Amino acid sequence: MIFKMLTTSLCLVCLAINVFAQNTVDKLFILGNSTIDHRPPAIETPSDETTVPHWIFLLAEEAGYTFAAGGQYGFLSNFDDLNWFSQWGYDIVPGVWESDYEPFSDADINAIMLTTANFIQYQPAHLPYPLDESTTVIEATETVVDYADEQEPGMKYYLYQNWPEMDLMDEFPPNIPSDAEIEDYHNETTGSFHDWWIDYQDSMLVSRPDINLRLIPVGEILSKIQRDLIPDQIPFDELYEDSAPHGRATLYFLAGLVSYMGLFEVEAPANFVVDPIVHQVVIDNYELIVDFIWNELTLFNDANGDSRVFCSNIVNEVDALAIESNIVLYPNPTEGVFTISGSLSSYQIEILDENGSLYETISTDLSLHSIDLSDLPDGLFFVKIENLSNGEIRVEKILKLD
């Protein structure tokens, strides 16, 4: 039997375990733009479904948490003037500050979310800011966090990684980007654009080591969901309404999912009923998407293995294979469908049943591959992973329980 000759590892459980109290972000003030709060949308919605706080509030409410939010539109070149005011209000989200009646220091805000323009990432954050060459992204952010920390010491700061403008041959709308343009867009979002935000966070952590500053990789995860997890299942113009790009309700719901899990440091509630304004594909794949986002967040660490996202000590039971190759399996156990994610192009992967019979061979350049065991009986399955560069083989176990 092949498995007698291989060293099998412990069952890989990639769903992180929450081993601490809920992270306190119940009063959030946002210095942002339309990648967080897009109003009015091109197609009218019943409430504030094209805003991230709307969805964070509903998810928090379902989980039994409190959440209030407010904010204002602008760019860093506006925010570092420190003339902040309470511009954003919502139908259902409680507000956090009324600037007409109280100073910022009296609002008891415990977290600030900050984002930048999404068309400046061609320029490193330490060089002159394209919208105001008298400063830099780093200097403007230093001014913001220094002021906020004076007003309310000990706050948490979250960099909201948005998504970039589209570089298209034809105007969208009315034209829909080509498949090649969409692929290039997602590759940019998960590549050079994502790297810019990592460098931005790293620079701030060096500049202000005493500030608790986190990075929520919203744009990267949204592109991975569209490109890899549920590819070609949602028409592009049902996610984005233009090349800015402003989004539809579905895009902001996904951004809200990522933001909620990054802020509260827990998975989104499994029993959450997704509003039908969200695309049916997302509704049908809600649990899969939640598992994927949580896995992405728990593995988003720096070179020392410390989380870039979470303030608390998230424990993710990932063995050496996942750490070395970033390959993970989830959910485990599974009711039928599970996903393999990571650097899959460097490996050949085989799925075998407990008798060693081959069920599927995976060879792909994508970073995600879903396996459907729904038609197979419950039991133990094995995932044989071979490193194509050195021939090393590892075997992981996955349990199917209907």
**For 41-50, 117-126, 246-255, 318-327, which range has the lowest pLDDT when averaged over its residues?**
318-327
3-state secondary structure 154-166: CCEEEEECCCCCC
CA nearest 226: which of 199, 186, 255, 193?
A: 186
The one-letter amino acid at 260: Y
Distance from C-alpha of 257 to C-alpha of 260, rounded to nearest angstrom: 5
* Chain centre to alpha carbon of residue 357: 37
74 and 138 Cβ atoms separated by less than 8 Å: no
In the block, residue with structure tokens 């990789």: 217
Residue pLDDT, tens place only, 230-276: 889 999 999 999 999 999 999 999 999 999 999 999 999 999 999 99
Tell me if 59 sits within 8 A of 260, measured CB to CB: yes
Name the nearest CA neighbour of 36 among 58, 55, 51, 57. 51
Q: What is the DSSP code (8-state) at residue 141?
A: H
Q: How would CATH label the architecture of 27-298?
A: 3-Layer(aba) Sandwich (3.40)
**113: phi > 0 → left, psi -120 to 50 → alpha, else beta; which?**
beta
Q: Are 269 and 55 in contact (CB under 8 A)?
A: no
**Domain map of the chain by residue range?**
2-15+318-400, 27-298
- Arithmetic mean of pLDDT, 27-56: 97
| Spatial separation of the C-alpha atoms in residues 196 and 140, rounded to whole Å | 16
The single residue listed with the structure tokens 């233009």 is 242
What pTM, to 2 d.p., does this model score? Answer: 0.79
Check residue 374 and report its DSSP letter. T
Amino acid 126 reads H
Give CA angle at 387 (385, 388), nearest 5°. 125
Residue 3 pLDDT > 70, yes or no? no
- How far CA 143 is from CA of 138, 207, 210, in Å, comes to 9, 11, 14
**What is the chain's alpha carbon radius of gyration, rounded to the nearest angstrom?**
22
Q: What is the CATH number of domain 2-15+318-400?
A: 2.60.40.3080
d(CA 45, CA 62): 22
The highest-confidence range among 7-21, 59-73, 318-332, by mean pLDDT, is 59-73
Give 24 or 272, the one with higher predicted confidence: 272
Range of weakest confidence among 57-66, 196-205, 321-330, 335-344: 321-330
Q: What is the pLDDT of residues 127-185, one digit of tens each?
A: 999 989 999 999 999 999 999 999 999 999 999 999 999 999 999 999 999 999 999 99
Q: What is the mean pLDDT of the chain?
A: 88
Rounded Cα–Cα distance for residues 60 and 57 (Å): 5
Whole-number pLDDT of residue 314 = 58
**pLDDT for 316:** 46
Q: Name every residue whose Cβ is closer than 8 Å to that of residue 17 and which is 6 or more positions away in sequence.
A: 315, 316, 317
Q: What is the pLDDT of residue 313?
A: 60
DSSP per residue, 196-207: HHHHHHHHHHHH
**CA 322 and chain centroid, separation:** 19
CA distances from 318 to 209, 307, 390, 396 (A): 28, 14, 22, 11
Any alpha helices (H) in 244-402, and if so which ranges?
249-264, 280-284, 286-298, 320-325
Six-digit token string for 235? 């028409």
